[in-house]
Structure 1
Amino acid sequence: MKGDIALITGADSRRGIGAAICRFLAREGNHIWFTCLPGKEEKEAERLMEELRTSDVQARYSPIDFLDAEAPIQLWEEVATEWDLPRILVNNAAHSERELTFEELDADGLDAHYAVNLRASLLLSVQFARRCMSGSDGRIISMTSGQSLSAMPGELAYVATKGGIEAFTRTLAAEVAPKGITVNAVNPGPTDTGWMTEEIRWELLPHFPMGRVGFPEDAARLVAFLARKEAGWITGQVIHSEGGFH
């Protein structure tokens, strides 16, 4: 295939950050392979795939559930066999159950968050690093949510596993730097992907000095920049791109 391949996980909703990342990377000429959850999300995935193809790139998707420990390896094999090895990996898939406080948290809830948010992202990343040729300007970009900045009551399992993304980003970046691979994480802050009610929006607005909440395109622009070969001097960073949110 002529052109670079980008693998993006978790593009289940066309209004989401994952879909916006797919669009921006496609506009820059990358072929897009993305994932969604099996089931009703596949209809959205079909529409996104057709939309991406209007950018004159190839696009495909895999219905996949990262609760399955074998899913990351199976995904890599599918992409590599059907296309080739990606130059860009974006770990965007996430699992979140609100109200998992210390009163409600149990092993099942913690395991589900760990499997999707941390295990899948780390396994995909190390597979990428092992297979990526030295000097190919590989890019690993993971999405996080600012757990290191402040408390998020009611989301113990989510913050623990997303916090792990920040930790492995810094260490993996140091390990794979000799191959020319960069590893970064992006915290987009509160982003309106369809979940915000008007009440929530007005509650959040005073915390944004820019005068608006975040949009999926805000995160996608940054990810697209980090994916470029010109961004090869940026690695091991957790970038809090959230419009000054406080």
Structure 2
Amino acid sequence: MHPLLHRLDELAAHLATRDDTVAVLGLGSAGAQRGRLDDHSDLDFFLVVEEGATSRYADGTGWLETPCPVVYSFANERHGRKALYADGIFVEYAVFTVAELHRVAFRGARVVWRRADAPPGLTESDVPEPRPPFDTVEFHLNEALTNLYVGLHRELRGEHLSAARFIQGHAVDRVIALLRLSEGEPPYRDVFDPSRRVERTYPPHVLPLAAMVPGYRGNVAAARAVLDWLSARFPIPAPLGARIEEMLSS
């Protein structure tokens, strides 16, 4: 068994002895998609507890240290923490009641342990999957183009960081969405972060990320790479395309 999964099983075995715990849910590569697990994975999980016990487990780490000492931790949100074990395992977890859990957006959870009287449906979120206003080629194409337009204006203004986020971030996210729509749903897609595992899914000749994401001083070159990629696959609205070309040439 992979050390991360073994650590989660150890935690679950300890938590199962407590009266105020309801379930432990593995997430991410410790969840339903364990094929993603490798030596660079961290350990993500939810702890489901009784009403009134959330702060006890979110604020204290005594229970977390049962299998191994914790050498570093901090509260990264009201319900949870990030922590590093002495043996190098990095964990990120959150603590919820059953009612709170249903108001959290998550996907791909796996029951590691649940109390016999735990309610059904713990691995299903009531929060819809995050979606853009329109998940269409037209939307993602025009979003990418307007991201380039706004980003290049910020680059010309000297706002290189903001420009990079528009050109090398937002526009590239739209490129990834266009690939998803044209080539089918990729394996192990992270609905909350489109950048996850794209290198495994799309080879460089399909998604030339090195050209699209060259870095802080590479915004103009990145915009050119994204525009060329879009132009080779989709009709570009002439008025906006001409304006972007003008800025690329200025």
Q: Place the TM-score, normalised by the shorter chain, in its bin.
A: under 0.3
Query: TM-score normalized by structure 1?
Result: 0.27
Q: Determine which structure has greater relative contact order: mean sequence separation of CA pairs < 8 Å that are 6+ residues apart, divided by chain length.
A: 1
